[in-house]
Structure 1
Amino acid sequence: MTDTKSAELDSFRDSLRRMCAPFGHEYFLRTSADKGNARELWEALGAAGALGVLIPEEFGGGGAGIEELAIVSEETAIAGSPLMLISLSPAVCASMLVHHGSDEQKATWLPGLADGSKVLGFAITEPDAGSNTHNITTRARFEGGDWVLSGQKYYVSHVDNCDALMVVAQAESGPDDLPAGLKVFLVPTDAPGLTKTEISVDVISPELQYSLFFDDVRIPADAIVGAQDGLAILFTGLNPERISSAALLNGISRYAIDKAAEYARTRTVWNAPIGAHQAISHPLAHAETMLAGARLLTEKAARDHDAGVHAGVSAAMAKLSASEAASFALDAAIQTHGGNGMATEYGLATLSGLVRLFRIAPVSSEMLLNHIAHKALALPRSY
């Protein structure tokens, strides 16, 4: 990376850190309790151009890449307000539209995604499909010039907060000899026949989870995204999602370690700061080392992706290492605080559910290990 590029990224990070400062962990807890979707932070990020950094300039974006968007994810988390939505609307959905959307779809959606005035959700998970995307049973049939969707999706984030969903479904053969198979469709969240039910989860987050039912939801023929690209469109969005998720986790690690280190420097017991004791200092030093490794892997994955190098393995490694580092760092920070680590005012235990979630979603650690074993080590698959 050139010195100029490095200086630009440092400046971008500094400006983001100042912008995110008012949106700390107290804000995160308040907007989560109010089911407020962190709209104020989202709008501030949009106004600053942070949400559209990987969208081409012709559509109001920054024309940069996932490396810049990863910085946005990381810095919001460092401030104390980690937003999963950054890994979905600007990362997954915008990436798929940039690479596979029609001219009309790009003109309709990308400017709003860039400034934050429009939000897209991503609906792929199903109760019985698990990690096997090929087992998706939501169907799209072509009827009377429209697509008609039927089926169910599970654990779809922030449906209450988005304008439309990018829905993965098994399409029957369509117009113009379109082959059957997995396709992606843009479905408005207010489409007749689409119902949502909130799933109660023990995770503090402004982004709620929903179960969706599609009861013959009718959408126009041009709602399909990247029609001939089929399953390939998904891979355009999945690596950015993993890289952005890793960056968010790195931000949580930084947040937790910084709080713990400050506490260890100032909390005095038996006439000495507790940080002088190796039982306190060593776990934090270990957490710092794990974070450094996770950040390097995340940086490599982002640069691989932006350079057009296949980033599947590096993105998997980044997400895996970042989730393990964040789990260790948060636990060490809580332990450093003793009983205060469980107090809401110290803002640590309130992140436990979210950090644990990222070992399951958006892809489980076990599936990441499977991918690394198969692609990096040429080991056979059991599936």
Structure 2
Amino acid sequence: MSFIETEEQTALREAVAALVKKYGQQYFSDCARQGRKTDELWQEAGELGFIGVNLPEQYGGGGAGMYELAIVMEELAAGGSGLLMMVVSPAICGNIIARFGTDDQKQRWIPGLADGSITMAFGITEPDAGSNSHQITTTARRDGDDWILNGRKVFISGVDQAQAVLIVARTEDAKTGRLKPALFIVPTDTPGFEHQIIDMEMLNPEKQFTLFLDDVRLPSDALVGSEDAALSQLFAGLNPERIMASASAIGMGRYALDRAVEYANDRTVWKTPIGAHQAIAHPLAQGKIELEMAKLMMQKAATLYDAGDDWGAAVPANMAKYAAGEATAKIVDQAIQTLGGNGLTVEYGLAALLPLSRLTRIAPVSREMILNFVAQTSLGLPKSY
């Protein structure tokens, strides 16, 4: 792992920053308040090759890796327009299909995922399973050559802007009766598939949904990979999810920190900028340090993942997610405190980040489950759940 980004990575970072500067936080919040999607930004990012930078070149992607996709996510968020579906569509779904899909599935889905003309959501969380993905109850059973899916999912992002959802279901072992996880691509116009919006106290153009699957009939080629190996396939998609969630949080933290520093340099009280006072400067400096440490762990996770080390990437990916969430939640709070009353105004755009920054400590995996994972895998402590 190099601490110096390549010329290509530096150029990518600069190009994404230049793109998002055309849109920014005002565009993002206007879309959310007006009930619009960030279609213009998504489309332009796709046309420029940013969305699919991690996907195989032979299917229209950029041929790079998660390190580069994390650059895209971080810079979008640092510019005030962090796109949640970047975490889901090219990172989780794109990586899983690229690694485990058939040639036909790759030809059908990856070019669209790469250029942004196709968006795919990801459905794993269930009302009664929560973080325990081993206990999901959405089932898939054979009916001739077809599959029949039944179940319910909750807190599924961006279904209203997706053409398909990658659903985690369970098949039944005919010999033992044991239920095993498997992955299915479900087009959103499939009969029996319904979605319902969940009202959230967050200013975000990308919404959350409950999914209902009632006798959803799928052809045999809807199954991604082997029905006997889907657990490993599933977690091969969750490492990118954590890396991208880290990148999003780091970018959001950078945005809030930049606004606070700008204000602290300009706002003068008692004949000196408020940034000269240690009560203002030290918490911001601490936030900068914690963000940079989280970013290093994210880069380590992305480097290991791109090297093909799924298990080696798992611990740093979770650590990065934890560190980025903790740092960003503190930075957003401190940025608002730095601005005082202005921090709560629409004009400065920081108050809207409060619930979004708080979310970084909850999703896509909670800080508590990360601590459980690290305690068990890194410290060798007994499993607690």
TM range (shorter): over 0.9
Aligned residue type for 2:367: S
Return the offset for 1:179.
Answer: 8.6
- Which secondary structure state, in structure 2, belongs to the residue aligned with residue 142 of structure 1? strand
- Is residue 136 from structure 1 mapped to residue 133 from structure 2 by the alignment? no
Q: Which residue of 2 aligns with 1:194?
A: 193
Q: Which residue of 2 aligns with 1:375?
A: 377
Please tell me whether the aligned partners of residues 301 and 316 of structure 2 are also in contact (alpha carbons under 8 angstroms): yes
Return the offset for 1:83.
Answer: 1.2
Moved more, 138-147 or 150-159: 138-147
Return the offset for 1:172.
Answer: 2.6
Tell me the TM-score normalized by structure 2. 0.96
Return the offset for 1:143.
Answer: 1.0
Q: Distance in 1 between matches of 2:248 and 2:215?
A: 37
Q: Distance in 1 between matches of 2:334 and 2:179?
A: 50
What does 1:106-121 correspond to in 2, within 5 Å?
Answer: 106-121=106-121
Q: Distance in 2 between matches of 1:278 and 1:255?
A: 21
Return the offset for 1:34.
Answer: 2.7
Return the offset for 1:4.
Answer: 8.9
Q: Which residue of 2 aligns with 1:358?
A: 360
Please tell me whether the aligned partners of residues 372 and 384 of structure 2 are also in contact (alpha carbons under 8 angstroms): no
Aligned residue type for 1:140: A
Q: Which residue of 1 aligns with 2:224?
A: 225
Please tell me whether the aligned partners of residues 50 and 69 of structure 1 are also in contact (alpha carbons under 8 angstroms): yes
- Which secondary structure state, in structure 2, belongs to the residue aligned with residue 214 of structure 1? strand
Q: Distance in 2 between matches of 1:195 and 1:340?
A: 42
Aligned residue type for 2:315: V
- Which secondary structure state, in structure 1, belongs to the residue aligned with residue 294 of structure 2? helix
Please tell me whether the aligned partners of residues 142 and 172 of structure 1 are also in contact (alpha carbons under 8 angstroms): no
Q: Which residue of 1 aligns with 2:202?
A: 203
What does 1:154-193 correspond to in 2, within 5 Å?
Answer: 154-173=154-173, 181-193=180-192
Return the offset for 1:2.
Answer: 6.4
Q: Which residue of 1 aligns with 2:57?
A: 57
Q: Distance in 2 between matches of 1:159 and 1:34?
A: 18
Q: Distance in 2 between matches of 1:45 and 1:346?
A: 25
Tell me the TM-score normalized by structure 1. 0.97
Q: Which residue of 1 aligns with 2:105?
A: 105
Q: Distance in 2 between matches of 1:178 and 1:168?
A: 18
What does 1:13-28 correspond to in 2, within 5 Å?
Answer: 13-28=13-28
Q: Distance in 2 between matches of 1:198 and 1:2?
A: 43
**What do residues 11-44 of structure 1 show as CA deviations (whole Å, max 9, x unaligned)?**
1111111111111011001111233221111111
Please tell me whether the aligned partners of residues 253 and 330 of structure 1 are also in contact (alpha carbons under 8 angstroms): yes
Please tell me whether the aligned partners of residues 141 and 173 of structure 1 are also in contact (alpha carbons under 8 angstroms): no
Q: Do the aligned partners of residues 179 and 381 (structure 1) sit closer, same or farther apart at CA in structure 2, a change above 3 Å counting?
A: closer
- Which secondary structure state, in structure 2, belongs to the residue aligned with residue 311 of structure 1? helix
Q: Distance in 1 between matches of 2:104 and 2:357?
A: 38
Aligned-residue sequence identity (percent) comes to: 49
Aligned residue type for 1:107: Q
Return the offset for 1:301.
Answer: 0.9
Q: Which residue of 2 aligns with 1:343?
A: 345
Aligned residue type for 1:8: E
Q: Distance in 1 between matches of 2:338 and 2:171?
A: 53
Please tell me whether the aligned partners of residues 35 and 207 of structure 1 are also in contact (alpha carbons under 8 angstroms): no
What does 1:296-311 correspond to in 2, within 5 Å?
Answer: 296-309=296-309, 310-311=312-313
Return the offset for 1:337.
Answer: 0.1
Q: Give 5+ residue unaligned stretches, structure 1.
A: none
- Which secondary structure state, in structure 2, belongs to the residue aligned with residue 346 of structure 1? coil
Q: Which residue of 1 aligns with 2:265?
A: 265
Please tell me whether the aligned partners of residues 120 and 164 of structure 1 are also in contact (alpha carbons under 8 angstroms): yes
Aligned residue type for 2:142: F
Aligned residue type for 1:205: N
- Which secondary structure state, in structure 1, belongs to the residue aligned with residue 301 of structure 2? helix
Q: Between Structure 1 and Structure 2, how many residues are aligned?
A: 381
- Which secondary structure state, in structure 2, belongs to the residue aligned with residue 349 of structure 1? coil
Return the offset for 1:3.
Answer: 9.4
**What do residues 66-86 of structure 1 show as CA deviations (whole Å, max 9, x unaligned)?**
000000110001110111111
Q: Which residue of 2 aligns with 1:254?
A: 254
Q: Do the aligned partners of residues 279 and 5 (structure 1) sit closer, same or farther apart at CA in structure 2, a change above 3 Å counting?
A: closer
- Is residue 314 from structure 1 mapped to residue 316 from structure 2 by the alignment? yes
RMSD (CA atoms): 1.6
Q: Distance in 2 between matches of 1:48 and 1:312?
A: 30
Structure 1 stretches of 4+ moved >6 Å: none
Please tell me whether the aligned partners of residues 156 and 210 of structure 2 are also in contact (alpha carbons under 8 angstroms): yes
Please tell me whether the aligned partners of residues 12 and 72 of structure 2 are also in contact (alpha carbons under 8 angstroms): no
Q: Which residue of 1 aligns with 2:237?
A: 237
